[in-house]
Amino acid sequence: MSKALDGVRVLDFTHVQSGPSCTQLLAWFGADVIKVERPGVGDATRAQLRDIPGVDSLYFTMLNSNKRSVTLNTKDPKGKEVLEKLIRECDVMVENFAPGALDRMGFSWERIQELNPKMVMASVKGFGPGQYEDCKVYENVAQCTGGAASTTGFADGPPTVSGAQIGDSGTGLHLALGVVTALYQAKATGKGQKVLAPMQDAVLNLCRVKLRDQQRLERTGEMKEYPQYAKGEEFGDAVPRAGNASGGGQPGWILKCKGWENDPNAYIYFITQAAVWEPICKVIGKEEWATDPGYATLEARLPKLESIFATIEEWTKTKTKFEAMDILNKYNIPCGPVLSMKEIANDPSLRESGTIVEVDHPERGKYLTVGNPIKLSASPTEVGPSPLLGEHTDEVLSALLGYSAEDIEAMRAEKVI
């Protein structure tokens, strides 16, 4: 079966997570992704957080599946010559170097356009144009500068970063969308363009509800769905941290379930959606609340949310998180168990859907990785292993660029590859 991006060739100059998450998506959709790495070293994540000595780490394998690896010394004149040929043969170039690195290598945007006018040049940077554009950024820095950390955590605690990699992989997702959009436009114009996805911008895009709340706060001075309102606490001039409160108009909270004393994940997220308030009252044994003017409307409930959730929690503590979910789903009450990574890894439905995949690697053996979160009915993803360092150097240089076996051996002897 053909793939959505069959025929698209991507020159992957990325490393660590933000860039590789983008190019892995493109590879999953069928693009031929050629990852360029330093001879003898490769992507730094090959050696980071290793669980098996001398073998590519899970950090690397889970971000670089379905790619080809070429080793190339781009500081060597012959290496630059090879890189120029690769640029001519590719449709997309993706990089997440520090600001100005490509220019210093001699491959400015203007030079890339000279070599390939149709090239889509995609970049991840920490910040967009402005006072911070030359600063280096990592995941947690992006979360802090994009509005996530200041609005995550509890009101009486410090700013908190999320376990979800919204700065790195979140930016990679945004960049991948930019790449396919630019490719689509290039079909009509015949010209490439630059695509920029700053990490700060991507995090802010995922925190848009907090920017919404900042404007609401400035206009009204309060936000009734936040726990501070129910506690009678004053709001400051910036969106506060709201613990586990829902980010929307339907109040929610994480509640203890049976076994919480010994299981750190025996919890369920429970949303008191207005449309199912009556069934909620029935389930928890508070049927009188459905008609009591002090509880029957959302406006009446907002000042009492803390005590309402405490009452609901008395019910959830009598059920396991899965028992509670089964009961609540029968009444269409929005909820979800707090799943540990162990539970997720062993979830049969995630295996069946291809969201979690077992891959066989030539050196480390079988391991679990995430599959494509985006399912295309006519372009299914088949997740393969990540490449060994330089595994496809000879193949790419000969079949794609036309170098002879003698040329390749000479470059290897001169440490160009």
User: Which residue type does 91 have?
Assistant: D
Task: Report the greatest alpha carbon distance in the chain.
Answer: 87
Active-site residue (options: 168, 237, 263, 394): 168
Write the Ramachandran bin of 321: left for phi over 0, alpha for psi from -120 to 50, otherwise beta. alpha
Distance CA 18, CA 78 (A): 29
b/e 350-382 (16+ beta carbons within 10 angstroms → b): beeebebbebebeebeebebbbbeeeeeebebe
b/e 292-314 (16+ beta carbons within 10 angstroms → b): eeebbebeebbeebeebbeebbe
Instruction: Specify whether 263 is catalytic.
Output: no
Name residue, tokens 């008609």.
291
| DSSP structure class, residue 379 | S
Name residue, tokens 């908190």.
160
Provide DSSP, 173-199: HHHHHHHHHHHHHHHHHS---EEEEEH
> Is 78 strand, coil or helix?
helix
Q: What are phi and psi of 141, to 5 degrees?
A: -65, -40
Distance CA 156, CA 106 (A): 51
b/e 327-341 (16+ beta carbons within 10 angstroms → b): ebeeeebbbbbbeee
Q: What are phi and psi of 241, to 5 degrees?
A: -75, 140
Give the residue numbers annotated as catalytic, written as ranges: 168
